[in-house]
Amino acid sequence: MSVYILGIESSCDDTSAAVIEGTTILSNVIASQKVHAEYGGVVPELASRAHQQNIIPVIDTALKRAKINKNQLSAIAFTNGPGLLGSLLVGSSFAKAMAYSLNIPLIQVDHLQAHVLANFLQKPGEPIAGPSCPFLCLTVSGGHTLLLQVNDYFDMQRIGGTIDDAAGEAFDKAAKILGLPYPGGPVIDRYAHEGDPNRFHFAISHLPGLDYSFSGLKTSFLYFVRDNLKENPNFIEENLPDLCASIQYAIIRSLTDKLKKALRDTPCQDLVLAGGVSANSGLREAAANVARRYHKNLFLPTLDLTTDNAAMIAVCGYFKFRQGDFVGVDVVPYSSARGK
Ligand code: KG4
Ligand code: ZN
């Protein structure tokens, strides 16, 4: 019998709902909140209000696109954390009420695990595929930068991670310094295509082990731009593509340096990328080169599955459904990562 899972994601500034059948995506609807762009970052209060406006139409559209009646659903999976508490409350309250009224199981999902498991999704007609455990996963998003050894769907061992800013934050902050809109990653990626990555050099941190640090890079970029603006007020406009290409190059080098180090002594055959920053064209290319050099198979989520979406929540829910891992309506959202 088919298993249909409705996934609900509302941890940050995207309200999303998806319906999957097994691991196949039937619909994946995302309402991205535009209201934050003018503030240069996500404003939590505005985010929860926008989630409240979006949640019903988004879920309704997801069911319609999937051509699934709500009574056919096997379970409802929702993001329970980490994320903004006000935003999480909107999705989790809705999921609880809907599961309760339909009398079907409720499944809590960890947003970071879901980013990783997005690599097990496929579109209708595509063969079932995905990495083989154990695999090495670089999870890079707006809030997290993690190197994980994934031994099983829910056995993810942290082998490295950022000690300060996340890689996505480094992109977003660099964009802000350049006067570019939020989220900055995709904009920097676009300008970087036309720029020279070797024009400006920014020192990257060399922490021991597999940990990352991006706050020093951000500060040196800030001072560099500020000092040059003193000499030439048009410095940014005249050098935008080169500035974007150079800062992107520094962030990617920082990420791939540790990736190579991890690959030198890992038992894993498969290398996987996950999270919003894995949409970055330069990082995807660099990861492909690293995988080739270390004779690993590379798995990249399709672009629509890199950033926040509910299909990844639903697939995580599907794997939990098979284990009977359900929660009651008294489960409480959490804001920060749970030691992953
Ligand atoms: O995974 P995600 O949608 O949300 C979190 O869980 O944080 O990641 C959002 C982050 C933002 O920092 C955004 O700037 C970054 O992913 N991002 C990118 C690109 N697309 C999104 N960074 C670099 N290049 C991109 N193409
Ligand atoms: Zn995310």
In single-letter form, the type of residue at position 209 comes to G
* pTM exceeds cut of 0.85: yes
For ligand 1, atom 1, name the residue with the nearest CA.
276
Q: Is the pLDDT of residue 117 over 60?
A: yes
What was the pLDDT predicted at 40?
Answer: 76
Residue 279 CA, closest ligand 1 atom number = 26
Residue 282 CA, closest ligand 1 atom number = 24
Confirm or reject: Cβ of 28 under 6 Å from ligand 1: no
pLDDT digits (tens, 9 = 90+) for 84-100: 999 999 999 999 999 99
What was the pLDDT predicted at 340?
Answer: 38
Confirm or reject: Cβ of 277 under 6 Å from ligand 1: yes
Q: Helix or strand or coil: residue 336?
A: coil
Quote the CA–CA distance of 333 and 86 in Å, as a whole number.
9
Confirm or reject: Cβ of 280 under 6 Å from ligand 1: yes
Ligand nearest to the CA of 193: 1
Confirm or reject: Cβ of 184 under 6 Å from ligand 1: yes
For range 228-245, the mean pLDDT: 98
Strands (E), the chain: 4-9, 14-21, 24-32, 75-81, 106-110, 135-140, 145-152, 155-161, 270-274, 297-299
R_g over Cα of the chain: 20
Cis peptide before 183 (omega within 30 of 0): yes
pLDDT digits (tens, 9 = 90+) for 261-318: 999 989 999 999 999 999 999 999 999 999 999 999 999 999 999 999 999 999 999 9
102 burial class (0-12, 13-18, 19+ CB within 10 angstroms)?
A: middle
Answer yes or no: are the C-beta atoms of 316 and 110 closer than 8 Å.
yes
Task: Find the 111 Cα to ligand 2 centroid distance in Å.
Answer: 6
Task: Find the 61 Cα to ligand 2 centroid distance in Å.
Answer: 22
Share of the chain above pLDDT 90, in %: 91
Share of the chain above pLDDT 70, in %: 99
Which is more confidently placed, 115 or 203?
115
Residue 97's alpha-carbon distances to 28, 151, 281, 296, 336, in angstroms, are 21, 34, 40, 44, 24
Residue 175 CA, closest ligand 1 atom number = 14
Considering Cα of 108, then 112, then 114, then 120, what sign does the dihedral take?
A: negative
C-alpha 44, offset from chain centre: 18
What was the pLDDT predicted at 338?
Answer: 67
What was the pLDDT predicted at 128?
Answer: 87
**Nearest to 263, CA basis, from 114, 165, 160:** 160
Q: What single-letter DSSP state applies at residue 327?
A: B
Quote the CA–CA distance of 267 and 255 in Å, as a whole number.
20
Confirm or reject: Cβ of 9 under 6 Å from ligand 1: no
Phi and psi based region of residue 339 (left: phi greater than 0; alpha: psi -120 to 50; beta: remaining) = left
Answer yes or no: are the C-beta atoms of 87 and 44 closer than 8 Å.
yes
Confirm or reject: Cβ of 282 under 6 Å from ligand 1: no
Q: Give residue 258's pLDDT band: very low, low, confident or very high (50, 70, 90).
A: very high
What was the pLDDT predicted at 339?
Answer: 44
Residue 111 CA, closest ligand 1 atom number = 6
Quote the CA–CA distance of 266 and 255 in Å, as a whole number.
17
Q: Helix or strand or coil: residue 188?
A: helix
Confirm or reject: Cβ of 171 under 6 Å from ligand 1: yes
Answer yes or no: are the C-beta atoms of 134 and 36 closer than 8 Å.
no
What was the pLDDT predicted at 317?
Answer: 98
**Nearest to 120, CA basis, from 263, 303, 316:** 316
For range 109-129, the mean pLDDT: 96
Q: What integer best gives the mean pLDDT of the chain?
A: 96
Q: Which of 11, 113, 141, 144 to mutate to test the pocket of ligand 1 (most atoms within 8 A of CB)?
A: 141
pLDDT digits (tens, 9 = 90+) for 149-182: 999 999 999 999 999 999 999 999 999 999 999 8
Ligand nearest to the CA of 274: 1
pLDDT digits (tens, 9 = 90+) for 45-82: 899 999 999 999 999 999 999 999 999 999 999 999 99
| Token code pair at residue 242 | 């080169």
For range 226-242, the mean pLDDT: 98
Q: Give residue 252's pLDDT band: very low, low, confident or very high (50, 70, 90).
A: very high
